[in-house]
Structure 1
Amino acid sequence: MTRIDRRFSDLDRAARPALVTFVTAGDPDYDTSLAIIRGLPTAGADVIEVGMPFSDPMADGPAIQAAGLRALHGGQTLAKTLAMVRAFRTGDDETPIVLMGYYNPIYSYGNERFLADAKAAGVDGLIVVDLPPEEDEELCIPAMRAGLNFIRLATPTTDDRRLPAVLANTSGFLYYVSIAGITGTAAPDTGRVADAVARIKGHTRLPVCVGFGVKTPTQAAAIGRAADGVVVGSALVEAIRASLDESGRATERTVPAVTDLVASLAQGVRAARQIAAE
């Protein structure tokens, strides 16, 4: 079992959904980004998605696009992102880490080298948003052979004919995108999300985590009543931006701005099943 498998197994026994947090590696700088990631588990994150900065993030909204540019301007590279995971692992060998992003940086790094280095660094899973199931031989299957979970995205337009292809080589969990569009631009419809999660669960035993548009503890609780996990990204990235000084540099408020928000979201997620039971 991977760390992801173990974490969701533990959460299933605890009868509560996961809080999955996303931040961009190197935003606003390497040291601050590492401090944020190190603070996430204590704040309440169950799984951490670490964004690999890329110059053309087509699926991301303005907040995550801006975070990626801040990181790239600060000198963040894929090698530094892997170094960040290695540094995190010196103090935490249990919290699952998922690298999320686009294929171009991985391809440029070299697939075989990347998979070996990611595994050695302590990465548990990958989300590569622009590699469809038809390209599984390119990275998905080699990643699985290397012992990494390859996590797929399903969307409101993924119907029952397409879903089996999406699920075929997916492992760890399925990420359900709750809205049609880019990240951070709209709030999810919890009724539709619940129906979609139920439909997907008719096809798989994998945990289903829901993201895109979740910003508040109330929204997190509502999504958590139906899903196995709640993914929050743009709200955390926006918290980083709002904490920076006029020159775009980190301040003493930057790390707590993120960890305090995560703590409040964790309370919402943890209350989700209790609310549902009542």
Structure 2
Amino acid sequence: MSRIADMLDAVEAEGRGAFVGYLPLGYPDLRTSIEAAVTLAENGADILELGPPYSDPVMDGAIIQEATHTALANGFRLRDLFPAVKEITERTGVPVLVMTYWNPVVQYGVDRYADDLAAAGGAGLITPDITPDAAAEWIAASERTGLDRVFLAAPTSTDERLDLIVRASTGFVYTVSTMGITGERAQLDAAARTLVARLRDHGCEHACVGIGISNADQVAGVLDYADGAIVGTALVRALRDGGLDGLAATARGLAAGTSA
């Protein structure tokens, strides 16, 4: 069973694609970040992707790095993750994936992390900096707890690597739209479409595309060939510049692209 795959199937049955929204936990403070996640869910996000701040966010662009540094400076600690996820899932019913670098999971303890996330109602992990062949402990823990494990595929991935990623992932494969760090881009790399097609050839049932998506037209374009569009930087910018009201308006605008 996969709560994420079930959600993607339900969205498809409605004749549209999924809007996956990312926000960093603890930004600008823990309480506001919880309210922001609830706001996102109430304004069109089908799946929430929440990122505990990390001191060395190598994949994140400037806006998300700024937000995570603020969250850490304001006192966010990993122990805050699980109560936050619990409150968000109880208030929204929207499945929550945690986007985390691997070192905090190891430091916390892989089995302990999986148990605490499952107990909090979380749906699984997106792990950008660990590959399936190095993730045996996490794969075992996720199978034991029923959590989804979302690995990343990039345009540079070999066919052998894509086959491994598809077999190891549950929920969906996080399809990196373009090489580089997160951030808004005027035009998405056409390599994303090719990559999703390659993933389908390897038996991938669900592929969601992220990095660089920032408006409803881009959401609609991605959903022409993928199951979900992942948006992060545009939402963090909206929260930073417009608070919860600005975030709600941006989320509604992006969600409009799911049925375009």
Q: Do the two structures share a fold, i.e. TM-score over 0.5?
A: yes
Q: Does 1:260 align with 2:249?
A: yes
SS in 2 for 1:168: helix
Residue 169 (structure 1) aligns with: 168
Q: CA deviation at 1:77?
A: 1.4
Gaps of 5+ in 1: 244-253, 272-278
TM-score by length of 1: 0.89
Q: Deviations over 1:23-72 (max 9, x none)?
A: 00010011111111111122000000000110001111111111111111
Residue of structure 1 equivalent to 2:210: 211
Tell me the residue number matched to 1:87: 87
Task: Tell me how far apart the structure 2 counterparts of residues 180 and 192 of structure 1 sit (CA, whole Å).
Answer: 9
Question: What is the root-mean-square deviation of aligned Cα atoms in Å?
Answer: 1.5
Q: Give the CA deviation at 1:187.
A: 4.4
- 1:171-222 alpha-carbon deviations (Å, 9 max, x no partner): 0001100010111153453643222212211112421100100011111111
Moved more, 132-141 or 68-77: 132-141
Shift of 1:268: 1.3
Q: Aligned AA for 2:50?
A: V
Alignment of 1:100-119 (within 5 A): 100-119=99-118
Aligned-partner Cα distance in 2 for 1:2–1:199: 23
- Please identify runs of 4+ aligned residues in structure 1 that moved more than 3 A: 185-192
Structure 2: where are the runs of 5+ without partners? none
One-letter identity of the residue aligned with 2:102 = Y
Letter in structure 1 aligned against 2:47: V
Structure 1 equivalent of residue 156 of structure 2: 157
What is the one-letter code of the residue matched to 2:72? L
Confirm or deny: 8 A CA contact 1:185 1:213 kept in the other structure: yes
- Whether the 8 Å CA contact 1:22–1:233 is kept in 2: the answer is yes
Distance 1:241 1:258 in 2: 9
Aligned partner of 2:66 in structure 1 is 66
Q: Which moved more, 1:15-24 or 1:141-150?
A: 141-150
Question: How far has the Cα of 1:168 moved from its partner?
Answer: 2.2
Is 1:44 the equivalent of 2:44?
A: yes
User: What percent of counterpart residues are identical?
Assistant: 36
Letter in 1 for 2:53: P
User: Which is greater in Rg?
Assistant: 1
After alignment, is 129-138 or 211-220 more displaced? 129-138
